[in-house]
Amino acid sequence: MADDVVTLLAIESATDMVGVALVRDDGASAERVHVGGRVHAELLIPSVEEVCAVSGCSISDVDVIAVDLGPGLFTGLRVGVATAKALGQALSVGLVGVSSLDILAAAAIQRAVERSRADPADPADPAGMVVSVVDARRGEVFAAAYHLDRADGSSDPVDPGTVRDDRSEPITPDALEAWLSELAAAHGRVTVVGDGAVRYHHQLAAHASLDLEGAAELSAPPPLALAHLALTRLVRGEVPVAAADLVPDYRRPADARINWEQRAPRATPNEASGNGPR
């Protein structure tokens, strides 16, 4: 990174929440979050304008853009990634894509560290297992487990190399419950965050080894967590990519392509039998 102050714009739209954050590597930050409804397209650009206004800067001051690549809601991701690409091209700046599961885990460990520092008697433990669960709809979830070790008291966001087990495909709530039980048996108490954990709380709450206390508070990836994680990775040497090279993580092929067979005109009985007009 250069010695000059870097301004990073973060765009978050993987869940029902629409959020934008603006951070600088000198510590300044601003965040705007809107929750509820499928209004990503309507609220995203106004949110960008809001964080720029409260930060006393213009969009032209942005040096790099971070965006949540998913997995998550198809429409929300499409809006967020398309907006990030458009802004990147317009401003001639690079983009940093971050997984929604990484962001949730980073936010969970950061909050655990802050709680333990504020109150040494607080049981929050920044070392252990954290599982991010994003609601995939259709009775499925996206999930990844992170084995965290912060014995040195570090408050750095979770590193992508700490992913212990990433479920590459959507899984059912029953499969999630069984997997979490296995993790708890092997590693002790497991902290679970994300809107998928909120949606299936009644099913997961039966297991005393699963800590669901922070699931509602961290139901969506926080834009500031995205911004700080992206900034950390830039400092560690990650290189921003061009807009054309940014690929969202939809994880469902059906979400990423149009079913042209369903859109094709249906043949009439005569045409299907070969008796139709020539």
Q: What is the pLDDT of residues 27-60, one digit of tens each?
A: 889 999 998 777 899 999 999 999 999 999 999 9
Looking at the predicted structure, is the pLDDT value of residue 215 above 50?
Answer: yes
The pTM score is: 0.86
Confidence (pLDDT) at 163: 78
Q: Are 210 and 184 in contact (CB under 8 A)?
A: yes
Question: Could you tell me which CATH class the domain 101-211 is placed in?
Answer: alpha beta
Confidence (pLDDT) at 2: 44
Looking at the predicted structure, is the pLDDT value of residue 261 above 80?
Answer: no
Confidence (pLDDT) at 229: 94
Please compute the mean of the pLDDT values over residues 128-138 and round it to a whole number.
93
As a whole-number percent, the residues of the chain with pLDDT over 70 amount to: 82
Confidence (pLDDT) at 254: 67
Please compute the mean of the pLDDT values over residues 90-106 and round it to a whole number.
96
Q: Chain centroid to CA 132: how far?
A: 9
Confidence (pLDDT) at 278: 45
Confidence (pLDDT) at 270: 55
Please compute the mean of the pLDDT values over residues 114-137 and round it to a whole number.
77
- Domain locations in the chain as residue ranges: 7-99+221-257, 101-211
| Three-class SS of 193-217 | ECHHHHHCHHHHCCCCCEECCCCCC
Please compute the mean of the pLDDT values over residues 188-199 and round it to a whole number.
95
Please compute the mean of the pLDDT values over residues 57-81 and round it to a whole number.
96
The CATH number given to 7-99+221-257 is: 3.30.420.40
| Three-class SS of 19-41 | EEEEEECCCCEEEEEECCCCCHH
Please compute the mean of the pLDDT values over residues 91-104 and round it to a whole number.
97
Confidence (pLDDT) at 164: 77
Per-chain mean pLDDT for the chain: 86
What does the pLDDT look like over 164-183, one tens digit per residue? 788 999 999 999 999 999 99
Question: What dihedral do alpha carbons 149, 154, 160, 163 form, nearest 10°?
Answer: 10
